[in-house]
Amino acid sequence: MPGEKEPYRTCKSKRFISKIMFVSISKIMFVSAIARPIIDEQGNVLFDEKLGIFPFTNEEAAKRNSKNRTKGTMETKLIQNITQNITRDCMLTKMLLVFKAKWPAFASKDIFIQQDNAKPHIKPDDSEFLAVARADGFNFQLVCQPANSPDINVNDLGFFRAIQSLKDQKPATDVAELLKNVHEVEAYFEYPPHKINHVFLTLRGCYHEILKAKGDTNYTIPHMNKKSSK
């Protein structure tokens, strides 16, 4: 109600990485990387912010025959236990390579990657990460999201909820089809950059509210006229 004090909000335990839940099939864990898009005054998108979405899956050969496939057919399987080694491998062999390929030539190569404090995430001073992050003229740096700050993750702030609803509009019968819906169709790569820019404007508003609250999270997410904001 107007004038009523907002309830104190905190994040859930960070012992486990947040999951995008697809109830009809399973729980699939993704790492999603987005940056704020670069849009000129005429509304032309100079840089598409969607750097990539990386599922934690692998390909395994079927061990026996079934009515759906023969023995030996390659199937997409979920990685059930995510460890730091698996996270590091995804970061070094997939994410950083994609970032370097997609990063615009006119933008600064000093890039900060924000992550939460989940145990499977690698540490900012990880030696293997630093060796790759500082190659090819880039300077990638890992920074951890402040504890108990639910609105500082731009994916959780709006992007994941948006692609979740888009994913639900396209039925899937197995993991491979679900990944295709998320990764290749409108659930991710066709999501409008202008809407992602609105999420970043909300993020900026949350930073302002946190500063006014002197670091507290007991604030209201501000309503903004995002269509006219820069």
Write out the residue range of the structural domain in which residue 32 sits: 20-228
Q: How many domains does the chain divide into?
A: 1
Q: What is the pLDDT of residues 173-220, one digit of tens each?
A: 777 777 777 765 556 677 788 888 888 888 888 888 889 888 887 788
Q: Are 224 and 202 in contact (CB under 8 A)?
A: yes
How high is the pLDDT of residue 23? Answer: 34
Looking up residue 193, the CATH number of its domain turns out to be 3.30.420
190: left (phi over 0), alpha (psi -120 to 50) or beta: alpha
2 assigned to some structural domain? no
Give domain status of residue 55, yes or no.
yes
Residue 1 inside a domain? The answer is no
Is 11 domain-assigned? no
- Per-residue pLDDT reduced to its tens digit, 39-63: 888 878 888 778 888 888 888 888 8
Position 47 in a domain = yes
Residue 9 lies in a domain: no
8 domain-assigned: no
End-to-end CA distance of the chain: 30
User: Looking at the domain assignment, is residue 13 inside a domain?
Assistant: no
